[in-house]
């Protein structure tokens, strides 16, 4: 074989993904994602550098900042072509502008470079293909968030590589499960966020969440669901609106703007009508006078931030936490340093003097595949598959997934490179 896969970011970590794929016969290669991570102080961290002149192009798998947030930095001096989907451009732009507002001091590009990047994009639908310097690129649905894509690359010397970005293999209310590209693949570069765990049965989780909401609202309480503004908010909204259309639902935070992108790009949703109806049923919180009113009657408030690091969700929490009849339902990953994690562990947020008397719950509505789902992607290419490279996961998750793949596919080589390392195949 003749390819080199260099991990620039996301090696042994979740965040700032960057993978450089080069055909050994060529000087130029493809950059697959170029995202930011954040340090303990919230300062952005970039992946390792790659020379703009070495780029045949960039492919962005989806709009999360850990996959797209560093990409505009190439547009200060050059204009590489970027291949992605329309929702990724639209959602990514909102998230990047928001990050620039907060962290521009640490970032070497401005909105101008973001616009330059968007103007350099080649927009593909799922199933679409394009050639850049003899690299053939095709996208299919990754099942993770709106517009998220699995990327297939046929290299100039004929190697077939799949880069998964983040993926999910179960159907959710808003997004259909990942659809592996038909055909053969030699090498997979796969995320491994939950490579060591199985998620509980999705359908059962959804049912318990709906029951918890119903019980609280029937008891005259308000349910606060802090949720990420991209994906999780729209998912929870669609779930509750379709299962309980009679309940008052309020949507607050950046998810309001993101939901408009969802609506504009509804063909990327599993059931566009379901989402459209959910958004019609929901009350959009417009301003502070709305915000001060919405928790006065039984209902559900869906608001950012998902880990309670800020946003209107914190305001609502302060108002609702003290009463037994209310409920706070967390539905997102809670990092160890987050207030959301603290509240689940201790029942309060010490710094803010919040002690929660309301019911406190967490439901696993992950948008990432668990161990079995990830393994199934590898099994899908049994026969042609020769190597799997694990990224976007901590070392424990990568080790466990590596073990599962080794057991199921003993002839396939599994690699877990760190940042700055490369695999030559």
List of residues contacting Zn ion (CB under 5 A): 64, 66, 166
Smallest gap from residue 35 Cβ to Zn ion (A): 7
Reference 43, options 111, 103, 109, 99; nearest CA is: 103
Smallest gap from residue 308 Cβ to Zn ion (A): 20
User: Which is closer to Zn ion, CB of 10 or CB of 311?
Assistant: 10
Rounded to 5°, the CA angle 60-88-279 comes to 155
Distance CA 163, CA 85 (A): 15
**Gyration radius of the chain over CA positions:** 21
Smallest gap from residue 231 Cβ to Zn ion (A): 8
Smallest gap from residue 27 Cβ to Zn ion (A): 29
User: Which is closer to Zn ion, CB of 64 or CB of 319?
Assistant: 64
Smallest gap from residue 330 Cβ to Zn ion (A): 18
Smallest gap from residue 136 Cβ to Zn ion (A): 25
| The length of the chain, given as a count of residues | 425
Stated as kind and residue range, the H or E segment containing 199 is none
Smallest gap from residue 362 Cβ to Zn ion (A): 20
Distance CA 31, CA 54 (A): 9
User: Which is closer to Zn ion, CB of 20 or CB of 228?
Assistant: 228
Distance CA 376, CA 30 (A): 26
User: Which is closer to Zn ion, CB of 17 or CB of 155?
Assistant: 17
Backbone angles phi, psi at 421, to 5 degrees: -90, 155
From residue 384, alpha-carbon distances to 42, 159, 337 in Å are 42, 11, 42
User: Which is closer to Zn ion, CB of 23 or CB of 166?
Assistant: 166
User: Which is closer to Zn ion, CB of 66 or CB of 90?
Assistant: 66
User: Which is closer to Zn ion, CB of 9 or CB of 180?
Assistant: 9
Stated as kind and residue range, the H or E segment containing 283 is strand 283-284
CB-based burial label for 357 (10 Å; 0-12, 13-18, 19+): middle
Distance CA 301, CA 6 (A): 44
């Amino acid at each position: 074989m003749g390819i080199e896969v260099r991990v620039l970011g996301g090696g042994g970590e979740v965040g700032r993904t960057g993978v450089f794929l080069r055909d050994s016969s060529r000087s130029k290669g493809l950059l697959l994602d170029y995202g930011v991570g954040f340090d303990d102080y919230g300062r952005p961290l970039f992946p390792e550098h790659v020379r703009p002149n070495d780029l045949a192009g960039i492919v962005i798998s989806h709009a999360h900042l850990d996959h797209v947030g560093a990409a505009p930095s190439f547009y200060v001096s050059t204009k590489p072509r970027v291949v992605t989907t329309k929702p990724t451009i639209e959602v990514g732009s909102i998230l990047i502008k928001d990050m620039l507002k907060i962290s521009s001091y640490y970032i070497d590009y401005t909105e101008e470079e973001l616009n330059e990047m968007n103007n350099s994009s080649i927009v593909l639908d799922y199933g679409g293909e394009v050639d850049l310097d003899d690299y053939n690129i095709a996208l299919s649905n990754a099942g993770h968030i709106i517009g998220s894509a699995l990327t297939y690359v046929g290299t100039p010397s004929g190697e077939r590589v799949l880069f998964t970005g983040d993926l999910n293999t179960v159907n959710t209310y808003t997004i259909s499960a990942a659809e592996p590209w038909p055909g053969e693949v030699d090498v997979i570069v796969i995320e491994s966020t939950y490579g060591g765990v199985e998620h509980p049965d999705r359908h059962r989780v959804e049912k318990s969440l709906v029951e918890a909401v119903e019980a609280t609202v029937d008891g005259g309480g308000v349910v606060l669901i802090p949720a990420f503004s991209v994906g999780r908010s729209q998912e929870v909204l669609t779930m509750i609106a379709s299962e309980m259309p009679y309940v008052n639902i309020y949507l607050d935070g950046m998810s309001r703007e993101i939901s408009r992108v969802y609506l504009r790009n509804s063909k990327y949703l599993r059931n566009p009508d379901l989402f459209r109806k959910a958004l019609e049923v929901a009350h959009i919180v417009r301003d502070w006078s709305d915000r001060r009113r919405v928790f006065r009657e039984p209902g559900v408030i869906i608001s950012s931030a998902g880990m309670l690091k800020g946003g209107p969700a914190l305001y609502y929490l302060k108002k609702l936490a003290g009463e037994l009849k209310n409920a706070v339902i967390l539905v997102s990953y809670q990092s160890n340093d987050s207030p959301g994690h603290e509240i689940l562990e201790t029942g309060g947020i010490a710094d803010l003097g919040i002690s929660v008397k309301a019911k406190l719950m967490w439901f696993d509505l992950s948008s990432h595949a668990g161990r079995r789902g990830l393994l199934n992607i590898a099994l899908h290419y049994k026969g042609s598959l020769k190597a799997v490279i694990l990224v976007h996961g901590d070392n424990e998750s990568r080790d466990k997934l590596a073990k599962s793949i080794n057991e199921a596919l003993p002839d396939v080589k599994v690699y877990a490179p760190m940042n700055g390392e490369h695999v030559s195949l």
